Amino acid sequence: MQEDHPRTRLYVDSPLVAGQAVGLDHERAHYLRHVLRLDRGDAVAVFNGRDGEWLARIDGFGKGWCSLEAVHQRRPQADAADLWLAFAPIKRGRIDLVAEKASELGASKLWPVFTRRTDPNRVNMDRLRANAVEAAEQSERLTVPDLEEPLALDKVLALWPHERTLFLCAEAGEARPIARVLADFAESRPLESAPPPVGFLVGPEGGFAPEELDALRKLPFVVPVGLGPRVLRADTAALAALTCWQAIAGDWAVEGEAGRPPFRQPAQP
């Protein structure tokens, strides 16, 4: 019961300091008690995106709740990648995949963008956030991506910080291969420096309208990039672009910490 290698980690909103009580809702209480079959005194890792990752112990269960007590910090809070993904919403299932995998790949902001050819006209932000939180818990990152409210493309571009390069994943027109663009981008900054703030924009399944592409290419902070000779689905394009960035110019290309504290694997049924 008194193991220090927790079987799971959870995102919480509460401040994390030694001795701090952390309350969990019904869903998470049920998960700990009835799925993982944990009991009072068992260890759980928790993080809130501000105070690093902490070891907590289950203090008690009640009807529809669970209380934890923060014990000590396992990992200090570290600077997270400053990597935004702006994407046209796609149908349920595929948009869930984008939120999940973009979180695993280190995106710091997810921003749904309505374009002229976007098919869904609304986004379930609660569901999108739930997928992002679950992916952050699983991937052992210390933050959860911010979610911006969906906006039309022109409004997103008006709000976009001009110092943040926006890589346009262009399916038509002139665009250099993404690997070459990102390699040049990486070589232009000091060796081993932190990756600069950037973002990627991915269009809908039907692609951007020609007038949208024309307007984007005229913006000084937009850099069109090509994703190869095949036509990729929107979800594939988003994840391919993020993967290329992390491998060539992002935090996969920078020396990191030596490791993370161990977790105890759940017993096999």
The sign of the dihedral angle between the CA atoms of 252, 185, 161, 170 is negative
> Residue 146: its pLDDT value, please?
97
Q: Is the pLDDT of residue 266 over 60?
A: no
The residues with which 75 forms a beta bridge, in sequence order, are 53
Q: In whole numbers, what is the pLDDT of the chain averaged over residues?
A: 90
Q: What is the mean pLDDT of residues 227-235?
A: 92
The Cα 229–Cα 232 span in angstroms is 9
Structure confidence at residue 251 as a pLDDT band (50, 70, 90): confident
> Residue 268: its pLDDT value, please?
47
Q: Which residue has the tokens 């110092």?
A: 163
The closest alpha carbon to 33, from 69, 64, 54, belongs to 64
Residue 19 DSSP class: T
pLDDT tens for each residue of 94-108: 999 999 999 999 999
Q: DSSP 3-state assignment of 132?
A: helix
The closest alpha carbon to 109, from 133, 63, 72, 144, belongs to 144
> Residue 242: its pLDDT value, please?
97
pLDDT tens for each residue of 167-218: 999 887 789 999 999 999 888 876 666 788 999 999 998 899 999 999 999 9
The sign of the dihedral angle between the CA atoms of 158, 153, 167, 126 is positive
pLDDT tens for each residue of 15-74: 999 999 999 999 999 999 999 999 999 999 999 999 999 999 999 999 889 999 999 999
Identify the structural domains of the chain with CATH numbers, from first to last.
Answer: 9-75 (2.40.240.20), 83-253 (3.40.1280.10)
Structure confidence at residue 165 as a pLDDT band (50, 70, 90): very high
